Structure 1
Amino acid sequence: MYISRLALNVRRPEAIRLLSSPYRMHAAVENAFPPDACRASDEGRILWRIDSSPSPTNKTWLYVVSHDRPDFSHIAEQCGWPTTSTGETKDYSPVLGRLDAGQVWRFRLKANPARKVLVDQGRDLNPKVVGTVQGCVTMSQQMDWLLNRAEDHGFRVASGSDGSPILTVSQRHTERYERKKKRVTITTAMYDGILTVSDPDLLRHALCFGMGRAKGFGCGLLTVSPVS
């Protein structure tokens, strides 16, 4: 597995066009790999995420996790700084291999926090009850979404001295797109915090396969970094 990133020049028209549409960005990421490249395997799948760093760096990055090494030259040519950088790619194995229970890491995750709600559609004595997926829209719902799923993905969100989780939720948006003449609505949020590894294998799976829904829309990519 590889983890890669490419700085995007948000002043360039093509970068603005890609960033305004997850469909276009998804297609650009797909085109970073040859047609016969592995999109998903037992080791992982293609995941991507857009990160906007606060000032003073004020940079926007495209992060990608993939089975094969990507070629970002086409994106850099139109959306980046092609004369100075065509992206950075690193072997993910050293990070994945050294995960161990009890370790503490800083993490970031862009997710589509959603829940399944049962809806009664019956009109007789034996009503049919079906599930519909609804976005978690409040701050409390979005925090609970991650806290309730963390253990299933091999980690716990660490707590501060006051017992509250070391977790912030930002960039909370409800995004609407048109797809095949249908409106698609996706709730997204960026999670930043500190985690403690509880199950290294489950966490490795989360890092390589993502968390939650809407991975094609740039959600699901979880990354970890040392706590400084």
Structure 2
Amino acid sequence: MTTWLTRIQPNLSNSRSRADLHDFVGLHRTVMSLFPAKLGDTPRRQAGALFRVDSGPAGDQLLVQSSLRPEPARLPPDYGTLRTTELTTLLDTLENTMVVHYRLVANTSKRLAKDTDRHRRGQLVSLKGEEILDWWHRRSAEHGLALASVEATAVTAPRSRDRAAIRHARTRFQGVATVVDAERLRDAVLSGIGRARAYGCGLLSVVPARARA
């Protein structure tokens, strides 16, 4: 199976492009518009689609990872520039003891336990303080990484035009780690980590440290 990584540089003169950066329901629709319409009841899963907005010196950039190759002509007119590369080769090079740089925007929340007050039982609540780091240390170990460093930054939750959509707590994790289970790590990259994968969370990016300038 081939995995694709698409980088979209939004055109900030375009009203839809600007709006999508602050509305992840709309952004989800734009991402899914890059793939064929008839993908069944779970189109995002069928396309293997995960996405994330990264901020850098050149501004915001949309990353879309997928098992289907996106069709550039499906991007709305003047939305931005698009570049797709094949990711499978990089994933195949991952091996135990390799040192990698990683980045993840995750939904850092928990569901309240059954022994919680009955009015709040089962609710999703945001993790706080050390709970956030503890969450990532547990998850990274489960998915084949031994963390050497971690920088955790809260990400402002986007607004939503869809009142039924959940506003998710988001944290950006980045740092250096050692691969301890390459197979689990590949599965995590392909499947995503945590909740809210349809809303811009869960895409884990890794690159060998020696390959990074």
TM range (shorter): 0.7 to 0.9
Would the aligned equivalents of 1:39 and 1:45 in 2 still touch at CA under 8 Å? Answer: yes
How big is each residue's C-alpha offset from its partner over 1:122-152, in whole Å with a ceiling of 9 and x where there is no partner? 9xxxxxx9533211143x2222211121111
Q: Which residue of 2 aligns with 1:73?
A: 73
Q: Which residue of 2 aligns with 1:219?
A: 201
Q: Does 1:61 align with 2:61?
A: yes
Task: Name the count of aligned residue pairs.
Answer: 203
SS in 2 for 1:77: coil
With the length of structure 1 as denominator, give the TM-score of the two structures: 0.80
Is the alpha carbon distance of 1:144 and 1:136 closer, same or farther for their aligned partners in structure 2, counting shifts above 3 Å?
same
Q: Distance in 2 between matches of 1:226 and 1:90?
A: 17
Is the alpha carbon distance of 1:20 and 1:175 closer, same or farther for their aligned partners in structure 2, counting shifts above 3 Å?
closer
Larger radius of gyration: 1
- Give the Å deviation of 1:171: 4.2
Q: Which residue of 1 aligns with 2:101?
A: 106
Matches within 5 A, 1:79-228: 79-80=79-80, 85=81, 87-118=82-113, 119-121=116-118, 130-138=121-129, 140-158=130-148, 166-177=149-160, 179=162, 181-182=163-164, 184-227=166-209, 228=212
Q: Which residue of 2 aligns with 1:40?
A: 45
Q: Percent same amino acid at aligned positions?
A: 26
Q: Distance in 2 between matches of 1:182 and 1:26?
A: 14
CA RMSD of aligned residues (A): 2.3
Would the aligned equivalents of 1:51 and 1:61 in 2 still touch at CA under 8 Å? Answer: yes
Q: Which moved more, 1:89-98 or 1:196-205?
A: 89-98
- Give the Å deviation of 1:194: 0.7
Would the aligned equivalents of 1:40 and 1:67 in 2 still touch at CA under 8 Å? Answer: no
With the length of structure 2 as denominator, give the TM-score of the two structures: 0.85
SS in 2 for 1:40: helix
